Every structure is written in C-alpha cells, then in structure tokens.
Structure 1
C-alpha cells in the first residue's frame, strides 16, 4: 500500500536525509526519498547533508554522502503514498503546498508517542545524537508497520 515514502523536514540537510537513509536500509523494497519545506528559502537546493548529521549517521553505518537537498513542492507530494514529517508544524506546510496530501501526511515520530523530532541544525553534537536516536527509533517502528 505505502510503496513510495517521502521524509520531510525544513532544510533537507539533517533530519529528513537521516530518516530517509535509515528507512531505505530497513525497507529495501520501498522507495524512500526526502525533501524540505524551506530548502529554496534557505538557499540549500542541491547542498549536501550537514557535516555533523553525516558524521553521526556514518557512526551508525548510514551514509548520507550522496544526498542533495531538494525543495518540497505540490508535484513532489503527489508522487508519494506516505509523507512523514519531523514536526507537527510541517503538516501545515505540506497542506499549504498540497491540500490533497493532508490525509497521507503523518509524523515521523507517530509510533514513539507522536513525538516531534527537534531540529539539531547549528546545535551541539549532543543535539545531533539525540535527533539521530529519535529518528532511528521512529524508523524502526515505521518499518514494523509498513
């Protein structure tokens, strides 16, 4: 049913690429990609994943090396069966872009107490480790459901 999954955050350089690549590893028969709600506004289009996010992921056997940030658009939303957002507020951003995507948009942290996953961008190593732990736990729960 959910064969094409999109993971969404703000800049598509920390949380969503991490979630994308963990889900790809857990769900090898699914198509998993990522995008950000403010990639163009933040001038991040085509940028690599954040260096600290890349380092933390690599320590867990996940490579973000090939990642390039991309902007979420209504056309992108239409391509996917399930859209997983990192924070409750991102649901509104998705809905504003593509109102028809509302019903297929859920929290990445849905199965870990409907938890928002805080943005570690420009924060400490500990913030990245914390975000990674939440993303990994949430991804494992999603893998069980999908």
Structure 2
C-alpha cells in the first residue's frame, strides 16, 4: 500500500493539482499528496478553469501553488503518477532510481494519457476532470486509505 503520492504534469497548474484535489477528497487522512510540474513556475496559481471545474463538482482546490519537480520530491513519494508518457523520460532523467514507482495515472484505464487542457476551452477541463476522476478511483484500492 502506498501512503505518499506525488502527481506530476507539465506546469502544475491544471492536471496534477486537479488530480491531487480529487485524491485528497477521496483518499482519507492517512494519505499524503503532493503535486509538481516538470516545467512549473514556482508559486503560480491553479488555472481558473481547472479551479472552476473542481468547484462545480464540489471538490475543494485549496490554495494551490505550482512547484517544480525535484529529485527530493521523487524520493519522498511511494508512488509517482504521471499524465503522459513523455513525462516518464523527464522523471527518469532527473532520478533514474525511482523508475519502479512511476506510473501513468491512467494505468488502469489501458495506460490512458491525460491531455493537457491548458489554454483550451472550459469543456477540455471538464473532460480532464472526468478522466482524472476515473483514474483516481482506480488507484484507491492500492493506497493506504481509511475505512470509509
């Protein structure tokens, strides 16, 4: 069972904070969740459309601030979830020793890759939410969560 989960995307303002918010809502208090981006601008706010879609589905987004992916974060995590196969190359270049705990968030959906909705219309964010919601639910049996 995994208890420390790191979720990674590119800028850490759309997909990974959305997935982290979903996991926080569904995962229980025993789970530690962090998100980061392979090209994040530290301190950037979550995209307004991402935040709006979460709010529409009654998922708390919190006061997210983007953070750059580091080897320390990769070592901290028990499980690292990525949005796209391309991010795996970046992670392995940064810390090759973590390869065994790195997976696509869409692993249980036939290795579904989650498209980046950044700078697209709001319906792209809604589609991202739908995909991430299913993916998060598929990971729950493998996580250290409280009985609900």
TM-score by length of 2: 0.93
Which residues of 2 match residues 131-142 of structure 1 at below 5 A? 131-142=128-139
Deviation at 1:75, TM superposition (A): 1.1
Q: What residue number does 1:37 align with?
A: 38
**Cα contact 1:9–1:86 (8 A) shared by 2:** yes
Gaps of 5+ in 1: none
- Aligned pairs for 1:1-40 (under 5 A) are 1-28=1-28, 29-39=30-40
Instruction: Name the CA distance, whole Å, in 1 between partners of 2:25 and 2:61.
Output: 12
Is the contact made by 1:117 and 1:131 (CA closer than 8 Å) also made in structure 2? yes
Alpha-carbon displacement from aligned partner over 1:60-86 (angstroms, at most 9, x marks no partner): 111224100000011111110000000
- Aligned partner of 1:51 in structure 2 is 48
Unmatched 5+ stretches in structure 2: 144-148
Per the TM alignment, residue 126 of structure 1 is displaced from its structure 2 partner at its CA by 1.2
Residue 128 of structure 1: aligned partner: 125
Q: With structure 1 as the length reference, what TM-score do the two structures score?
A: 0.94
Q: Does the C-alpha gap of structure 1 residues 30 and 103 become closer, same or farther in structure 2, counting only changes over 3 Å?
A: same
Deviation beyond 4 Å, 4+ runs, structure 1? none
Whether 2:85 is the aligned partner of 1:85: answer no
SS of 2:64's equivalent in the other structure is: coil
User: What secondary structure is seen at the aligned counterpart in 2 of 1:111?
Assistant: helix
CA distance in 1, matches of 2:89, 2:17: 20
User: Higher relative CO (CA 8 A, sep ≥ 6), structure 1 or 2?
Assistant: 2
2:119 is equivalent to residue 118 of structure 1: no
> Does the Cα contact within 8 Å between 1:54 and 1:65 map onto a contact in 2?
no
Contact 1:107 1:114 in 2 (8 A): yes
- Residues of 2 paired with 1:26 and 1:101: CA distance? 26
